[in-house]
A and B are shown apart, each in its own frame.
Chain A
Amino acid sequence: MAVEALVTPSGAERWNALAVRARRRRLLTDSLLVGFLVVVSLPIILPYFWMLTISVSAKTGGVESVVLWRACAVLVPAVVAFGLLRLFVEETRRLVLGALAIAAIAVAAVILLVGSDLHLQNYRFLWNPDIVAEIRGKATAEAQFPSVWIAFRNSLALAVTQTVLVLTVSTLAGYYLSRFQFPGRAGFLQGLLVLHAFPAMTLVIPIFLLMYWSGLLDTITGVILVIATLELPFSIFIMKGFFDAVPWDIEMSAMTDGASRRQAFFRVVLPQVRVGMLAVGVFAFIKGWEEYVFVRTLLFEKQNWVMSLYIFWVSEDIMGVDYGIVAAVAVFYILPSLLLYVFCQKFLVQMTLGGIKG
């Protein structure tokens, strides 16, 4: 009887009270959640924001934090306003309009507060190959500082080649591991996991010697082989998982429909794992793009510099570091991987959820 009294409200008033309470509670949990997420994401976002601010405002000879604080004074209210907008507005059209309004106000405020301090001088490394000579008024003792485009080209070659390599090998190996029985298969799979758990840094010296003896030291090819090899165990494992999720039926069906095993693989199985291939490809590209330890160890010639070495030498070579230029190079360095993430985000999220939607 007591339970019944609790559950049964006495009329419409009681229902309304319950509805109001539920609405209030939902609002409270939502705002707590959003608040929490904002707070924990601050330490991640702020450095990038600072980097961007420095790159467009700093002048040779020092960094002032005034611009940063002013920019933050615009950014923080804008973010808070956007959060509140999301919390209270549900209709898509009004949401977009609100977001646009907030963005317009923020841009206007930025121009008003710090507009006079903004300039693109720090990005001059893009068209002026020898920034060091320019800054120090004469060429450095050892030859010239290479153009950023050489480093960019090397980085791109490194990342793209290793992506192609990793994708090809991990797709074929993953398929074989998923579909075929062979002696030592279980050991091989365990080996993949163990290899992945193994810290690659411990291999720096042996790999250096290996490269030295095989004549691949100070070549991009050598670095590509090393990075691809280190990347492979994990990629193969991921691809095997994706192939495991493809039912045998469609493969058998393709073969009774007249396809050979190879045709069945390319026309029927491979299209089912394209999300996995995309994920593995993006990770491989970013690994190649951001690689530092092995390029630092294995490459010396200026003509072989990649972006990570370029940024290192920019901050190292210039007497009294020019933070403006370093930050600008960093922004330039980040852009490709950022674009890649933005375009592939949808698929990558699918992957982390662990499957292919049918």
Chain B
Amino acid sequence: MARIELRHITKRWGAVVAVADMNLVIEDGEFVAILGPSGCGKSTTLFMLAGIYMPTAGDLLFDGARVNEVEAKDRNVGIVFQSYALYPHMSVRRNIAFPLRFKGVPRHQAERMVEEAARMVRVEELLDRMPAQLSGGQQQRVALARALVKKPQLLLLDEPLSNLDAALRLTMRSEIKRLQRETGITTVLVTHDQIEATTMADRIVVMRSGRIEQIGTAEDLYRRPDSLFVASFIGAPPINLLAGEARGGALHIGEAQLALRGEARGPVFLGVRPEAVVLDSTGHPALVEDIEPMGRETLVLLSTPLGALRALVGGAAIPHRPGDRVAFSFPPEETLLFDRASERRLADVHAALASRG
């Protein structure tokens, strides 16, 4: 177990900056997800933690000790790759035992540890198979067992679920969570899938082009995104963003005008989550453009005086059809305002639709 600290970590590949001045503390036993689109530097960060890449600048601390120059083989880090990276020429048993060979664990003890790790991820029946004879989910479990067998102080997961089908993803998600809780190993998960990050991790680090955008819990990121990027990256279906102008205490979007609560000036974006948009009889007029049933909910695409809006409505069947005229509204406290130049959220500023009728 370890407390991990990144101080001003920077990684450059020639002129390209992959990770820029990253500061992060991961507490002992914590489950942290690094979330971001591809190319944001999240995998680079992971490989620096593993010791495969060396930071160009900054300090990487394990339990307060600087480990920048410590080689990967000496860091006692377990890693599960997106491809699982099982050794194709070794049986499952030898795959899991591989890390123990370098630690000088006596044979009989190693055997016991392998079986224990296999039992933990439930692959004890597969020990004598070859990786090519396993399904994706089984390979994933073996990779986990191999990462856990050496009792690492840090577990790194690189997109561990992206090669699994939807049903398996669900099981493995809770499985990994359970393993992490049982072992109490500090864990870092790298993913581009927000659901993976929000469902598994205690805290989420959102990265964008080598920089940290925001660190917080799933709820923080969803309800109080610091920036336009986080707001639009988190949430599916995505947040409604409307470009407008704040002047004279009012927010002007196209021809429409909304009342501002709080201080704002200049070009802004108004953000409204689809589920905050309510279809009711008292609201403002809108035209139903299209309807996308999503099972438990239905996404209604509206054309409004503010522009196009996505509204998420409960229930699989709704009484509207494309072409219907409806009325919509959203509660002011659910609105988010972002400065268009800095893309930062304007704290405690909301916008309200003028009340009608």
Contacts and interface: CB of A to CB of B under 8 A. Distances in A.
A79 B61 CA distance: 74
B73 A252 contact: no
Given A260-B73, A271-B89, A252 B98 contact: no
A257 B102 CA distance: 8
Contacts of A358: 88, 132
A258 B98 CA distance: 9
Contacts of A249: 81-83, 85
B81 A253 contact: yes
A258 B151 CA distance: 13
B41 to A, nearest CB: 17
Nearest to A251: B85
Nearest to A253: B85
Contacts of A268: 87
B98 A256 contact: no
A263 interface: yes
Given A263-B102, A358-B132, A255 B85 contact: no
Contacts, number: 63
Contacts of B320: none
A260 B50 CA distance: 14
A278 interface: no
A155 interface: no
A85 B225 CA distance: 75
Interface in B61-94: 71-75, 77-79, 81-83, 85-89
A257 B50 contact: no
A162 interface: no
A272 B103 CA distance: 24
B47 interface: yes
A254 B51 contact: no
Given A249-B81, A249-B83, A249-B85, A257 B150 contact: yes
A119 B6 CA distance: 84
A258 B77 CA distance: 9
A250 interface: yes
A252 B52 contact: yes
B146 interface: yes
Contacts of A247: 83, 85
Nearest to B79: A256
Contacts of A250: 85-88
Contacts of A255: 51-52, 71-73
B132 A253 contact: no
B79 A258 contact: no
A68 B160 CA distance: 67
Interface string B130-163: 0010000000000000100010000000000000
B99 interface: yes
Contacts of A258: 73-74, 99, 101-103, 150
A254 B79 CA distance: 10
Interface in A225-271: 247, 249-250, 252-260, 263, 268, 271
B158 to A, nearest CB: 9
Contacts of A254: 87, 98
B87 A256 contact: no
Nearest to B158: A249
Nearest to B152: A256
A259 B102 contact: yes
A262 to B, nearest CB: 11
A256 B102 CA distance: 11
Interface of A: 247, 249-250, 252-260, 263, 268, 271-272, 358
11 contacts: A252-B47, A255-B52, A256-B73, A256-B77, A258-B73, A258-B101, A258-B150, A259-B102, A263-B102, A271-B87, A358-B88
Q: Which 4 pairs from chain A and chain B are nearest by CB?
A: A258-B102, A249-B85, A257-B99, A253-B85
Interface of B: 47, 50-52, 71-75, 77-79, 81-83, 85-89, 98-99, 101-103, 132, 146, 150
Given A257-B99, A272-B88, 14 more contacts: A249-B81, A252-B47, A253-B81, A253-B85, A254-B87, A255-B51, A256-B51, A256-B75, A256-B77, A256-B78, A257-B102, A257-B150, A258-B99, A268-B87
